[in-house]
């Protein structure tokens, strides 16, 4: 396609187009996808499963066959104030616990079979674009003469990908998003594409660089008063990383709030099961168009979605590692009650992280990580303090088994009570 073969492929001549849907199939074409901003790393892995057949009477195996391939793509990115989370709840659905839940039909969903509203598992087409390496950026524009391929791109598309993990790393210097998806089909296009073929191609212009940072969180705000906190941290985190005065009381001063907190890591892992793995009527191959179009139709989410969150910070005091853990004090997964240090075994810790951005003051956009009110402490770890001068750090890890995982960008922050009956 290109006049000259690329000497190399590097970040300046690559791009990612994605298209999400809550139906089994719509279109093969990637041109109606959306350009993914802020991508810093792109990794692609593919297996070639081969099975050798034992042949009695021979010392060397002579026959083998290939099983269906699978592919995994991992995308790391930073989030600009004008962009959004890769997976997110629409602001029009950010109304109730049920409509915001990750298993709701219009979010990730639960099964590949269409429901009464024609909704099925959320799946994505991920298209990797490669442009000629002799131009300054992807889609530099059409030039005359021998440079007529300045706007051309090569395209490879992973079809109907399922999200397997969503990770966020929030540190003192930056916030990164990492998404891993899996697919059973990677298609290299024979078509000749130009960047102008893709919807939203102007978005490849340089971003604002106004990305989410630690300073956008309201951890330092007071709990009451003119600047109330919208973020909610677990009781143990507040106790561990809050500065205290000479009387041992928690400070309510902004410049003394949560000063020791260094990083927060959030992860949601989604596992799937499929009847295709054991179905005798499983038919694959290039002639089976239904298989290609509806390859996730017999796939379902393995419940619950594993949601974890860990907080790491500088130690201010020794912290107890043991809790009352005997079988006469069973936890309560109600999400109710006021947490305190004596109830570490209760499944009622709320975790909500809120970052504020002002793209057009005085209006505000909130980027929200809401892990619900059913989190519980799973581990306390200590590290550092060695002779190299490193500080002692504690890591407090939490988990919820309610699949509570809401990612949303909205103009307001809501609080949802967990239903009295299972979702």
Q: Please tell me the total count of domains within the chain.
A: 2
190 and 335 in a common domain: no
Residue 99 included in any domain: yes
294 and 146 in a common domain: yes
349 and 204 in a common domain: no
296 and 171 in a common domain: yes
In this structure, the dihedral spanned by the alpha carbons of residues 330, 331, 337 and 340, taken in order and rounded to 10 degrees, is: 90
Residue 222 included in any domain: yes
405 and 293 in a common domain: no
387 and 317 in a common domain: yes
Nearest one of 91, 113, 95, 153 to 416, comparing CA atoms: 95
Domain that holds residue 311: 214-270+305-423
324 and 280 in a common domain: no
Residue 58 included in any domain: no
326 and 311 in a common domain: yes
Residue 115 included in any domain: yes
**Burial (CB count <10 Å: 0-12, 13-18, 19+), residue 226:** exposed
323 and 290 in a common domain: no
Residue 254 included in any domain: yes
Q: Domain ends where: 282, 302, 322?
A: 302
Q: Domain ends where: 287, 302, 317?
A: 302
Q: Domain ends where: 302, 325, 349?
A: 302
Residue 61 included in any domain: no
pTM above 0.85, yes or no: yes
Q: For each of the chain's 423 residues, which pLDDT tens digit applies?
A: 787 888 899 988 899 999 999 988 777 788 888 889 899 999 999 998 888 888 788 778 888 888 878 999 999 999 988 899 999 999 999 999 999 999 999 999 999 888 888 889 999 999 999 988 888 777 776 544 456 777 888 899 999 999 999 999 999 888 999 999 999 889 888 777 888 787 665 545 556 678 999 889 988 776 666 678 899 999 888 878 776 555 556 655 655 556 688 999 999 999 999 876 544 444 554 455 566 677 888 899 999 999 999 999 988 777 777 665 555 455 665 555 555 545 666 788 999 999 998 877 778 899 999 999 999 999 999 999 999 988 999 999 999 999 999 999 999 999 998 877 766
Residue 88 included in any domain: yes
Residue 4 included in any domain: no
188 and 143 in a common domain: yes
354 and 275 in a common domain: no
258 and 174 in a common domain: no
């Amino acid at each position: 396609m290109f006049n000259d073969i690329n000497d190399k492929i590097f970040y300046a001549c690559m791009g990612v187009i994605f298209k999400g849907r809550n139906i089994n199939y719509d279109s093969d074409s990637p041109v109606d996808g959306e350009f993914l901003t802020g991508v810093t790393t792109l990794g692609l892995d593919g297996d070639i499963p081969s099975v050798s057949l034992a042949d009695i009477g021979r010392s060397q195996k002579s026959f083998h066959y290939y099983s269906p391939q699978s592919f995994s793509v991992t995308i790391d990115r930073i989030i600009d104030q004008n962009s959004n989370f890769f997976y997110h709840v629409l602001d029009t659905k950010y109304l109730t616990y049920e409509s915001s839940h990750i298993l709701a039909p219009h979010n990730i969903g639960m099964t590949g079979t269409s429901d009464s509203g024609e909704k099925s598992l959320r799946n994505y087409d991920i298209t990797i674009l490669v442009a000629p390496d002799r131009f300054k950026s992807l889609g530099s524009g059409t030039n005359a003469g021998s440079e007529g391929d300045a706007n051309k791109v090569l395209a490879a598309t992973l079809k109907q990908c399922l999200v397997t993990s969503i990770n966020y790393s929030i540190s003192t210097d930056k916030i990164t998003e990492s998404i891993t998806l899996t697919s059973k089909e990677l298609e290299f296009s024979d078509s000749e594409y130009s960047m102008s073929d893709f919807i939203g191609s102007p978005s490849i212009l340089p971003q604002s660089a106004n990305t989410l940072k630690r300073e956008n969180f309201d951890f330092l705000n007071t709990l009451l008063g003119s600047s109330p906190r919208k973020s909610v941290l677990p009781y143990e985190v507040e106790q561990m990383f809050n500065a205290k005065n000479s009387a041992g009381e928690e400070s309510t001063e902004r410049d003394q709030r949560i000063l020791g907190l260094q990083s927060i890591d959030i992860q949601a892992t989604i596992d799937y099961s499929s009847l295709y793995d054991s179905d005798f009527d499983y038919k694959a191959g290039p002639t089976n168009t239904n298989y290609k179009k509806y390859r996730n139709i017999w796939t379902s989410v393995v419940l619950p979605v594993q949601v974890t969150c860990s907080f790491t910070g500088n130690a201010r005091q020794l912290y107890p590692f043991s809790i009352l853990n005997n079988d006469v004090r069973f936890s309560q997964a109600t999400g109710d009650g006021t947490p305190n240090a004596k109830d570490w075994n209760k499944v009622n810790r709320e975790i909500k992280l809120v970052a504020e951005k002002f793209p057009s003051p005085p209006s505000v956009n909130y980027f929200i990580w809401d892990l619900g009110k059913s989190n519980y402490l799973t581990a306390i770890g200590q590290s550092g303090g060695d002779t190299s001068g490193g500080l002692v750090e504690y890591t407090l890890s939490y988990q919820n088994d309610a699949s509570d995982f809401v990612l949303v960008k909205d103009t307001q922050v809501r609080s949802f009570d967990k239903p009295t009956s299972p979702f």
